[in-house]
Structure formats: C-alpha cells, structure tokens
Amino acid sequence: MSWPVNSELIKKTSARQVKVSADHAGQRLDNFLARHLKGVPKAAVYRMVRTGQVRINGGRCKPDHKLQTGDEVRIPPVRTQDAGPVTVSAAVIDQIRKATLHEDANYLIINKPSGMAVHSGSNLPWGLVDAVRQGRPGEFIELAHRIDRETSGCVVLARNGPALKHLSAQFRDGGVGKKYLCLMDGRLKEARVAVDAPLLKTRLEQEHLVEIDEEGKEAVTEFRLLQAWRDCSYVEAELLTGRTHQIRVHAAHLEMPLAGDDRYSSPAARKKWKARGLNRLFLHAHQLGFESVDGGTINCHAPLPEALRDVLDHLEA
C-alpha cells in the first residue's frame, strides 16, 4: 500500500550543536538524527556520519553510538524539507490508534501495516513515529527499534527516556524475544533449521542490500516449520540477533527466499507469488517479549493480516 504524503518546500539549514537531554540518553545516534533531519534520506544521514560531518563532543562517531546526557551533537548543514510540522491525515492517525496492541505509562506497541515506514526519509516526509507523535501532541515518543517498511507487525515506541534506555539495552544485548511469521518459497527440510551466518551491508546503485560475508556482523536465525505445501513452507522465524534484512537474507541463503521479496528473490518467483494473490512481502512480526523498565514483563502478539491469511488459505497441497 502507498501512503499519501504532502509535498514540501526545500531549504538549506546551517550547522548546529544540539545538546542531548536526559530523555534521549541511550538513544542511537541515527535515530536521534532522524528526528532532527526531517525529510533527509537515510542514506544521506549515514553518509554524513561516515564522513565525519556529524560529531559527538567534537569526535567522530558511528550510527549505532549510544548517546549520553549532555553530549553535544554537531548536525551539519543540509537541505531539508520545510513546510512546518509534518501533517499526517486523521484517517491514518485513527488507523494507528486502532492498531495499538499495548499501552502503558512507558511503552506503546503498534501493529504496523505493511507499506508504512517507521520513520521519515528517502522521500517519505513522515513515518509511523510521526503519526503517533501527531496523535499525541506534547508527549515523548521515540522508536525503540525498527522493522522494514514492507514488514507488518509489532513495533515498540518508548514514552519516556528511562524506558527507551532500558529497552534499547535489551535490544542491544539480545534480551528481546522477536518472532516472525513468514512464507518461504520451498520446502523446509527439517522441523527446525538454524542459520548462523554473518551479515554485511552493501550497496548496489541506489539500493541498500545485505549479504552473507565473514567480515559481517554475527547473525543467527532459527526457522520452525508450521505447515508445508508442495512448493512452500509457512514458518515461524525467531531472531537471536537483530540485523537488517536478517530473516530475508538467511531465507535466501537456504535457497528458499521469502514469498514476495522484491530484493532477495528472482523476478520469476515474484511473478509466481503475485499470480497467487500476494502483493507484498510475506513477513510479519507477530510476537515480541521484553522486560519493562518497571520490572514487569511485556509479551505482545499481532495476528497475521487478513491479506496474508488469504494467501495461505488458497495454497494447494
């Protein structure tokens, strides 16, 4: 699904120093920059960090650097979209409100629809986090993690600084339970298959891709078979690490790319699944579990979207 956006004017900003408040302590630098550089493509933001234009307390840094209270972040001059506050339609805000799976004083968990980015960038003036902020004016709302635009399911947003810091640490240390439902193009040979293969981000023209490479970061996925058909497998995938496109690349590594994957499957495979009624990536973040900052445990489930269920219902044995 394509989401409506508002055209915006472009202006050139000046370099500025932004001091990190206590509420944003523990936040990743790239997420911090996303809020301060509305409308700037994510690739451009990463390039600024990589080339040293973004600095923390005068020093070079990496996108995943965790900010601390009082840090001075240099944000370089950049062309940004400027038409006042981001405007998201009332219909979308209401849709997200109805998709709220969990709400307490510290966290919101939203069942994000496929096709909606979690934040702005790459010609997208708004994302899920912007819509939530507009629907809750004046509140502290920050993303605690990300899922791909094409992926649906559980996304957690923090409602205060300590909650963000506490959950970010769990994501970093592998303390969050993350399970996805996916349809793999092929028959899984065993009931459980673990893939332990490091992943490295690459770039092909204007598109970011991920590939298996010994120089990459550790990545472990466990696939558990739920149901098999003649030429495909309905699977629960558990992330034991949290790398970009991890499930998609590990599935392709097994020579069973995810149905509807427009990056890691062949044109013929995509055509086949489109003919079967699949018009999106078959990947859904259906279960998320973590420890709350108040000491309790949060376990959340997002049901499989109807469009994906319909695809399963029409598969032939």
- Going from the C-alpha of 151 to that of each of 129, 131, 148, 305, the distances in angstroms are 16, 18, 5, 11
179/183 Cα distance (integer angstroms)? 13
210/249 Cα distance (integer angstroms)? 7
3-state secondary structure of 260: coil
Degrees to nearest 5, angle at CA 272 with 271 and 273: 95
Catalytic: which of 148, 173, 213, 294? 148
3-state secondary structure of 303: coil
Kindly state the tokens that stand for 143: 């993303």
- Going from the C-alpha of 289 to that of each of 152, 178, 239, 295, 299, the distances in angstroms are 17, 7, 12, 13, 4
Q: Which of 165, 141, 221 is nearest to 188 (CA)?
A: 221
Partners of 139 in the β-ladder:
none
148 is known as an active-site residue: yes
63/281 Cα distance (integer angstroms)? 27
> To which H or E segment does residue 30 belong?
helix 29-36
- Pairing of the two strands 283-291 and 152-158: parallel
Question: What residues are labeled active site?
Answer: 148
